Amino acid sequence: MVRFDAYTLTTQAAKADQLLPLLYFFGDQVTEGRGFHTFGSRASVKDADGDEVGYVQWGGKQEDRVMLEVKGARTPAVVEAVRASYPHRCTRVDSCADFDAPGAFERVLDAVLGAKKDHRLYGESRGDWDDFPELGRTQYLGAATSPVKLRLYEKGKQPEYRHLNRADWCRLEIQVRPQKEAKQAYAGLSALEVWGASKWTRQLAAHVLAEHVDPHPPGTVWKVSERDRKLEWMLKQYGPALVSLADDCGGWDVMGLTLREMLQTMKGRGDEA
């Protein structure tokens, strides 16, 4: 099952004391300190094992903007709760799928390396794959500056999970950092829809998850201006006439000059549209 594994958001529709309880479980420890990224204050929530499960930041130069980040097993429930109550913008989201069967890592790795080759992606391997594979292997895709990155790793071989004796357990995870208008769009996408971030993540969704995912680009969402709408309407109505004029003029460059002269003539007559 595909699910959220990390989520970062900003909102002006909630206060810090409204968001913090969404992270907190009985027995957790909450520590307050100075904020990061020009926020004035930060409250970190750690579980009984001392691992941070998330934090909330507020104040400082950010004024009434509040930031929340959650990671790990609590992420799906927190995302559901926030989306049900508070409009927000998503600044980072991780979506993952787990596999637990003999040879699962190798099969998923074949698909990952196939996407790497097909789309000429930067990749990096971590761990000692040759002499100490029992310590866990990790494969990364995507440059450090890319808004979309991926990691495949052997979850069951991490020190904190070895006692479970699940050596075949691996996780495929993408990390998306939406930009500008896309932050609003990603605040409503499902964990599966996040895999529509790029051509290569959609390829992996089809090959590994057996799912078709529509495109959801994390970059700036292009908005059609009123002028563009008018030009599109003009081209639908008069496209053939413009093509004919370009042919008669000997090319599109000359046609542009011809249209300019026609507009200047109309302006001189006082009947410019």
Examine the pLDDT at 102 and tell me if it is beyond 50: yes
User: Which residue is it, tokens 């979850």?
Assistant: 155
pLDDT for position 272: 53
Average pLDDT over every residue of 56-75: 96
Assess whether 145 and 205 both reside in one domain.
Answer: yes
User: How sure is the predictor about 123, in pLDDT bands with cuts at 50, 70 and 90?
Assistant: very high
User: Which residue is it, tokens 């990952």?
Assistant: 112
- Tell me the CA end-to-end span of the chain in Å, nearest whole number: 59
Give the residue, 29 or 238, on which the prediction is more confident. 29
CATH of the domain at 30: 3.30.160
pLDDT for position 237: 80
Examine the pLDDT at 271 and tell me if it is beyond 70: no
- Does residue 92 lie in a domain region? no
User: Which tokens belong to 6?
Assistant: 């990390």
Region of poorest pLDDT, from 56-65, 144-153, 174-183, 260-269: 260-269
Examine the pLDDT at 222 and tell me if it is beyond 50: no
Average pLDDT over every residue of 85-97: 96
Q: What is the DSSP letter of 7?
A: E
Assess whether 209 and 245 both reside in one domain.
Answer: no
Range of the domain at 130: 97-223
Assess whether 219 and 233 both reside in one domain.
Answer: no
Assess whether 115 and 165 both reside in one domain.
Answer: yes
Instruction: State the chain's mean pLDDT as an integer.
Output: 91
- How many degrees, rounded to 5, is the angle at CA 181 between CA 85 and CA 86? 5
Examine the pLDDT at 228 and tell me if it is beyond 70: no
Total domains in the chain come to 3
Assess whether 16 and 102 both reside in one domain.
Answer: no
Assess whether 21 and 53 both reside in one domain.
Answer: yes
Q: Which residues are CB-neighbours of 210 under 8 A, at least 6 positions away?
A: none
**What is the spatial distance between Cα 249 and Cα 257, in angstroms, rounded to a whole number?**
10
Examine the pLDDT at 225 and tell me if it is beyond 60: no
**What is the spatial distance between Cα 222 and Cα 180, in angstroms, rounded to a whole number?**
11
